[in-house]
């Protein structure tokens, strides 16, 4: 349920109202300050509340609306239609993810292999215009005998790359035991597709402060995905970015997954959360990544995550879907053309140094 306040409602009245809701009406109010209006979201046992009765508790209430969807805090209506933005402080300044901000580019290797490769890759993608470096320290692998990531030592290498370049760091958390050490380095904590419904892990990243990148499970419905975000929001962390990375379908002969770009308009209508597209996992083959990246930009994604490796043929994981730095440079130029056409290309920062 949400309460939309009239324009110009006094702060003190909103305060009073919030208190009354909590104490007398037994619901949890959350104040959301929009561009023009203040909205108060109500979570809890709202099923029996009467909107008309609620309406009367303050003359500054414009209207009281029920959120019919199973997701409440993630629902677009919960912010009365307004998009949310996720602000991430990085050494080079705060980067904003959201519908009303320029496209944010994340790039880097599947896994952190050694200091030279990660720092070198970071410099290259930074020079090409990326704001974030991706790189796995802990890797979910189908086989227990496959390379599982260098773990904590890889986190130190990410920190070095961050220091060297000023890029923000996005890296995956698989085990809540690693949350503390990973948080020291990560600017955004990634929850991978396989853990999208690892509810204890969602609760834990919901109970801390770093923004969370939530990848869609490989056969998760859009509703299940938003409900997973709702777990994080409900635990107190409002900073969630949703990342599509391809779904599993009947045809896996030419692409590893089927990148579902229709999530862009669908999520836009359902939720206020920012959207990222990962065409690297989405297709699984480097030659198809640029085309799908361009399509995602035209469709209005808020961010992209692209795998780049200095030598894909020798990558310890996901080589076939990684771009070379040279191909990534060219892709940035191609994306700039579309990005400018749809007015989402960062004007303030030079694309190629």
Which residue has 């009073």 as its token pair? Answer: 16
Beta strands in the chain (DSSP E): 2-5, 28-33, 38-43, 61-65, 86-90, 93-97, 104-108, 132-134, 168-172, 188-191, 212-215, 240-244, 275-277, 303-307
Is 21 a binder of a copy of itself (CB under 8 A)?
no
Q: Of these, 264, 273, 308, 316, which contacts a copy of itself (CB under 8 A)?
A: 264
Nearest-Å Rg of the Cα atoms of the chain is: 21
DSSP annotation of 314 reads G
Q: How far is the CB of 191 from a copy of itself (least distance, A)?
A: 12
Q: Of these, 114, 262, 311, 349, which contacts a copy of itself (CB under 8 A)?
A: 262
Which residue has 């191909």 as its token pair? Answer: 327
| Terminal Cα-to-Cα distance of the chain (whole angstroms) | 49
Taking the least distance from each CB to a copy of itself, the nearer of 14 and 212 is 212
Which parts of 123-152 interact with a copy of itself (CB under 8 A)? 140-145, 148
Q: Segment near a copy of itself (CB under 8 A), from 76-84, 152-160, 170-178, 182-190?
A: 170-178
Of residues 345, 307, 304, the one with CA closest to residue 324: 307
Q: How far is the CB of 140 from a copy of itself (least distance, A)?
A: 6
Q: Two tokens at 87?
A: 């602000």
Taking the least distance from each CB to a copy of itself, the nearer of 35 and 348 is 348
Taking the least distance from each CB to a copy of itself, the nearer of 54 and 174 is 174
Q: Which residues bind a copy of itself (CB under 8 A)?
A: 43, 70, 72, 140-145, 148, 174-177, 194-195, 197-200, 203, 218-219, 221-224, 227, 230-231, 234-235, 247-255, 258-262, 264-266, 269-270, 282-283, 287-288, 291-292, 294-300, 337-338, 340-342
């Amino acid at each position: 349920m949400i309460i939309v306040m009239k324009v110009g409602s006094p702060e003190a009245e909103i305060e009073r109202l919030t208190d009354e809701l909590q104490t007398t009406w037994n619901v949890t109010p959350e104040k959301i300050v929009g561009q023009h209006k203040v909205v108060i979201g109500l979570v809890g046992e709202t099923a029996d509340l009467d909107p008309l009765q609620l309406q009367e508790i303050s003359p500054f209430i414009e209207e009281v609306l029920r959120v019919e969807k199973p997701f409440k805090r993630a629902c677009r209506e919960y912010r009365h239609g307004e998009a949310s933005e996720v602000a991430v402080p990085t050494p080079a300044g705060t980067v904003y993810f959201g519908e009303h901000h320029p496209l944010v580019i994340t790039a880097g290797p599947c896994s952190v292999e050694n200091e030279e490769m990660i720092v070198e890759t970071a410099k290259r993608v930074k020079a090409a215009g990326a704001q974030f470096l991706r790189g796995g320290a802990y890797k979910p692998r189908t086989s227990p005998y496959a390379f599982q990531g260098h773990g904590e030592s890889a986190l130190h290498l990410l920190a070095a790359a961050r220091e060297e370049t000023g890029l923000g760091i996005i890296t995956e958390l698989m085990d809540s035991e690693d949350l503390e050490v990973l948080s020291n380095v990560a600017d955004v904590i990634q929850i991978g597709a396989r853990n999208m419904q690892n509810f204890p892990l969602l609760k834990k990243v919901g109970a801390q402060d770093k923004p969370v990148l939530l990848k869609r499970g490989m056969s998760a419905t859009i509703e299940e995905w938003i409900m997973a975000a709702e777990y994080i929001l409900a635990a107190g962390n409002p900073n969630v970015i949703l990342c599509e990375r391809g779904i599993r379908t009947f045809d896996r002969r030419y692409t590893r997954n089927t990148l579902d770009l229709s999530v862009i308009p669908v999520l836009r209508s359902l939720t206020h959360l920012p959207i990222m597209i990962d065409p690297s996992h989405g297709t699984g083959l480097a030659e198809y990544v640029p085309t799908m990246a361009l399509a995602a930009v035209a469709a209005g994604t808020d961010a992209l995550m692209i795998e780049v490796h200095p030598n894909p043929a020798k990558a310890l994981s996901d080589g076939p879907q990684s771009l070379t730095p040279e191909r990534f440079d060219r892709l940035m130029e191609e994306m700039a053309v579309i990005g400018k056409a749809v007015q989402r290309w960062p004007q303030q920062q030079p694309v190629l140094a």
